[in-house]
Amino acid sequence: MAFSPATNPRDPGFSMLEMMTVLLVMGIVIAMALPNALNALRDYRLHADASDLASMLNLARMKAASQYAPYRLDASPSAGTYELERLCGNTPSSGAGGDANCTSAYNAFRTPNYDSSGQQYVSIGNKFVSCLPSGLSTYPGTITANPAGCPGAGPDPLQLYFNTRGAPVDGTGSPLANGGAALYVENQNNAIDAVTVSVGGRVAVWNWDTKSSAWYLR
């Protein structure tokens, strides 16, 4: 008696051993690829956080110049947050429309005037610091030294100011020292990006290359 191809008992499909072999090979491939995929994802988040921080600094420059009002970036390394704040500028400290806090153009209002972009957070697993990370001896770009309070945790919050021309200044309106200001972003793999603001106002993003022990402009 002949069997049709559809009912041939000698064509049962894959055996259990074959299925287990395929699953084993797939598991090995996934196990080998997963660490690289996770590292790539962490590096992507690191670069994205640095780029977002740079964009916020450029926004602060633009708003300060266009609104003719000082702005600052309030960055808290301990909380992993940052946001823009409009400062007193030419608001008087008394009289109509005055604010008692406005004894200096670079003071904050009694009720902080935060930008509508809101508070931003670095990605989970990332952190940012205002001091050159441990183990590094070279500063990125035009930066020549750490801010006051380093080494250690450094200023928290770190406040970066822009005057009414959009130029970076310190809290008194004077030009920045140390070649500008920097914030460093680190991830779980100890990869490091830096966001710098030069004395002239240029915002740049850098990546630390562990092989050559040097900063590279991104």
- pLDDT tens for 8-55 read 555 556 677 667 776 776 767 666 655 666 677 888 899 999 999 999
Average pLDDT for the chain: 87
Alpha-carbon distance of 128 to 103, in angstroms, equals 32
What is this structure's pTM?
0.81
Reported as a pLDDT band with limits 50, 70 and 90, residue 5 is low
- Quick: pLDDT tens for 148-182: 888 776 788 889 999 999 999 999 999 999 999 99
pLDDT exceeds cutoff 80 at 90: yes
- Quick: pLDDT tens for 195-211: 999 999 999 999 999 88
Domains annotated on the chain, with CATH? 42-217 (3.55.40.10)
**Residue 117: its pLDDT value, please?**
87
